[in-house]
Structure 1
Amino acid sequence: MTDGPKVLLVEDDASLAAMLEELLRGEGYTVVMAHDGQRALHEGLSQPFDVLLMDRGLPGMEGLDVLARLRSRGVATPALILSALSNPADRVEGLDRGAEDYLGKPFDVDELLARLRSLLRRHTASSDAVPVPGGMLDVSGRTVTLGSGAVIVLSERESELLALLARRPQQIFTREGLMDAVFPEADDDGVVDTYVHYLRKKLAKSAVLTVRGVGYRLGALL
């Protein structure tokens, strides 16, 4: 498994999906596959990605409907639509419904890779500053600046955990999902509870909410 950017690849054509998966893995991406709309929605809501690469004509649910549902749940991961529906009206519809880019089929491989790199650069440039209730998180600087002007210093893992919750404020994360995303080397999900305790102690008891029987979600800092 690579440590490169993580892409959710949504494509129902088996041969094209296999080609794209091989291509992306060869470029250093970590690839998670989904062959239908329901699976794509499940994957998009259950784990974090750096970029989404999605077809439109999917079994079960149209690709733009999947994207709209992800956006309604607070998933802001940049998305590139790759579709045979590629006339100007189709592209406008895709962009209006939440995609950052749109590429028609058939496509040039080098152009596809360049567009993905561009999306990742823009996402990385804008992802360090993440709004949280009552303030702003500087992910790389590992600080939360409150509306009062107070600055709270976090550890690297505290910052990563808070950033994951804050980027998807409507999503409930399981302990297993948080472990995979923030503590991949840990073998005990108690580490998640420990860092939730640290965040609550530094920020507020309400900063991270417990959803009984499921996991955690973002709360309020004030």
Structure 2
Amino acid sequence: MAEVLIVDDEESILVPLEFLFRKAGHRVELARTGEEALSRLAERPYALVVLDLMLPGVDGFQVLEALKARTPAPKVLVLTARGREADRAKALALGADAFLAKPFGVQDLMAEARRLLEEG
């Protein structure tokens, strides 16, 4: 069982992801803004952060930079509608461990999450 933080401003994404990760046995917390994500990260460590890039206020790239500056840094799976090659390259350069574009397959998402958590 791992601590997972899901960061997305769309309820239609948050609710199903929360269900999937809880069903897989993980402890899940949600954040709807970049500021809320940074606040939650200051409170406790997470093994995995599922991160959208398009967030109100502090965007996902800024959250990613802050995440990767932490010691130890959590694994970060970027899950975003910004599927352009430039966005992918920037996210990976900033330290994202995986990148999936929306729409995504549930099995692909959970396989990536499992792989990242196993890498620890």
TM tier relative to shorter chain: over 0.9
Structure 1: gaps of 5 or more residues? 124-222
In structure 2, distance between residues paired with 1:84 and 1:38: 20
Task: Give SS of 1:7's match.
Answer: strand
Q: Runs (4+) of structure 1 moved beyond 3 Å?
A: none
Which residue of structure 1 aligns with residue 84 of structure 2? 87
Q: What is the CA-CA distance between 1:15 and the residue it aligns to? A: 1.7
Between the two proteins, the alignment pairs up a number of residues equal to 120
Which residue of structure 2 aligns with residue 39 of structure 1? 36
Q: Which amino acid aligns with 1:71?
A: K
1:164-192: CA deviation from partner (whole Å, max 9, x where unpaired): xxxxxxxxxxxxxxxxxxxxxxxxxxxxx
In structure 2, distance between residues paired with 1:21 and 1:102: 18
- Pair 1:69 & 2:69 matched: no
For residues 141-156 of structure 1, what are the structure 2 equivalents within 5 Å? none
Structure with the greater alpha carbon radius of gyration? 1
Q: Which amino acid aligns with 2:119?
A: R
For residues 179-190 of structure 1, what are the structure 2 equivalents within 5 Å? none
Q: What is the CA-CA distance between 1:14 and the residue it aligns to? A: 1.0
- Pair 1:110 & 2:107 matched: yes
Give the alignment partner of residue 57 of structure 1, picking from 54, 58, 69: 54
For the 8 Å contact 1:45–1:75, the answer to whether it is kept is no
- Please report the TM-score for the alignment, with normalisation by the length of structure 1: 0.52
Q: What is the CA-CA distance between 1:74 and the residue it aligns to? A: 3.1
- Pair 1:30 & 2:32 matched: no
- Pair 1:78 & 2:40 matched: no
RMSD between aligned residues = 1.1
In structure 2, distance between residues paired with 1:74 and 1:67: 13
Give the alignment partner of residue 16 of structure 1, picking from 8, 13, 18: 13
For the 8 Å contact 1:7–1:31, the answer to whether it is kept is yes
Q: What is the CA-CA distance between 1:75 and the residue it aligns to? A: 4.5
Q: Which amino acid aligns with 2:99?
A: Y
In structure 1, distance between residues paired with 2:116 and 2:70: 21
In structure 2, distance between residues paired with 1:67 and 1:94: 8
- Please report the TM-score for the alignment, with normalisation by the length of structure 2: 0.95
- Greater relative contact order structure (CA < 8 Å, 6+ sep): 2
For the 8 Å contact 1:10–1:40, the answer to whether it is kept is yes
Q: Which amino acid aligns with 2:117?
A: L
